[in-house]
Amino acid sequence: MLTAQRNERLTRVGPGTPCGELMRRYWIPIRAYAQLLENPVLKVRILGEDLILYRNKKGGLGLIGDRCLHRLVDLQYGIPDDEGLRCPYHGWLYGETGKCLERPMEGKPQAEIRQKLKGYPVRELGGLAFAYMGPLPAPDLPRWDLFVWPNSIRQIGITEIPCNWLQCQENTGDPTHSAYAHGHMFEYVLRQKGELGQRSSDSLHTMHQRKKVGIGIKEIYAYQTEHGFRKGVRYSKALGADSDKEQEHSTVIFPFYTQTGHTGAPRSEYQIRVPMDDTHTYHIAYQCYAAPPGVEAPKQDIVPYYVPPTHDADGKPILDYVLAQDAIVWVAQGPIADRTIELLGRTDIPVVLLRQQLDEQIRRVEQGLEPMNYFHESPAMIHPTGSPPDYSNPDKLNKHAFRKYYHKGFANDDADRYGPIIETVKELHRMIEEFELKRRAEQQQTSEHA
């Protein structure tokens, strides 16, 4: 359990709060760029601030305060101009710094006014619009590998989750939740729907794999890395596991990312838990489907987005895919989990490390130091897992094999099933499987000849 004071410290993200100040040292993904192509003016709420994200007529991006200085009209109804955004009421024009550039009908020459709106830098990378809301100069925008990995196709799943961001992120510091949230609960849900036999007949089905997560645990570990932390479970056959083995869980990228699947795999993903405010999280599932050397991924000009539903038309939660199973337990902890009354156990040791790391990085900012993953100049590509993919061992790339076989029906168990490119992904997975089988046969032939 935490003290009330420490719970506040780790969860609140508004201006001037300890965690809010930490978050303001990072480029924060705030929308899919494709959303701006549909509608060039979007109202956003990030770190407790109401803002307007816009794309001007020349394609430049801006993120400014949401109320016109003049008569306080909400600028979500604004009109993109060559240099900025115009208020729809009297046409006052704002540039990307929030400065008022023009006040039509107020006479000429116009004296510069000292009042301005908030204005934050925005940049695009990998199909996402990123904002930086901290002290200037801004750091460099980190080129995390899935954003720039070649020979890939991508899609972006967006879900607004009505709870504090840390509940979502603590899930990634919790390697054993899968046993129930994605194993036993999955089984329960499929049985209730009458789909258990049909959906989980294959032994590769995630439900079967996840149910084993809690059996035969010898050790639960977590350790800090250059970019976040890694954690996992070591199993012992003597304790009931099917073999002595180690299973690493997803990789945490500080402060609010987690990566599942290895970069370069047929399916990998960043889950990004962007704090909208203290009680809402903008959850981005950034999905990347990479082809190995020898297979060509389809060309993709724009990374499309989609909104995976968490509830059906009757308002009942949809629980038959992995992300929705996570989302329901995050929300079910309350708007901000009251950690003063929680009762952690041994399996929560990685969660404790995650909180400790967060506290340490908050303290660095309080001391005037740069926190982890603050880049003056980003490398051309950053591997949060520490290494590029090993294509000579394709089985290791996707540790959950079902995620490389979406063409065999397994897409149905992930949010990806709702994505606009899912049929293209299935075709890519079919091509990759065909390529791997052919390569394996050739290797076998070569070794037989040798």
Partner 1 sequence: MPIGQELINTVLQAVLDQVPTMEVKSVSFSPANPREGEDVIARIEVKGAHYVLCEILSDGRLQSARVIES
Contact residues for partner 1 (CB under 8 A)? 1-2, 217-224, 236, 239, 343-350, 352-353, 355-357, 359-360
| Cβ 7 to partner 1 shortest distance, Å | 11
Element containing residue 328 per DSSP (H, E): helix 322-331
* Locus of tokens 């009505």: 162
Q: Give least dist CB 175 to partner 1, A.
A: 11
Q: Measured from the CB of residue 365, what is the shortest distance to partner 1 in angstroms? A: 15
Nearer to partner 1 (CB atom), residue 171 or residue 206:
171
Q: Least distance in Å: CB of 167 to partner 1?
A: 15
Nearest to residue 323, comparing CAs of 158, 153, 146?
158
Least CB distance from residue 178 to partner 1, whole Å?
17
Q: Which is nearer to partner 1, 77 or 223 (CB)?
A: 223
CA distance 177 to 182: 8
Contact between residue 290 and residue 152 where contact means Cβ atoms under 8 Å apart: yes
Residue 172 backbone dihedrals phi, psi, to 5 degrees: -80, -15
How far does Cα 421 stand from its chain's mean position? 18
Query: Least distance from C-beta 221 to partner 1, angstroms?
Result: 4
Residue (198 or 356) nearer to partner 1, CB? 356
Choice between 280 and 355, CB closer to partner 1: 355
Instruction: Please count the helices (runs of H) and the strands (runs of E) in the chain.
Output: 13, 20
Residues 6+ apart with CB under 8 A from 318: 309, 310, 311, 312, 324
Structure tokens at 292: 């190995």
Please give the Cα distance from 160 to 282 (Å, whole number): 5
Q: Please identify, using beta-carbon distances, which residue of 154 and 355 lies nearer to partner 1.
A: 355
CA 334 to chain centre: 21
- Shortest distance in whole angstroms from residue 236 CB to partner 1: 7
Q: Are 266 and 404 in contact (CB under 8 A)?
A: yes
Q: Which helix (H) or strand (E) holds 54?
A: strand 49-55
State which residue, 40 or 350, has the beta carbon closest to partner 1.
350
* 51 neighbors 118 (Cβ within 8 angstroms): yes
Which of 39, 356 has the CB closer to partner 1? 356
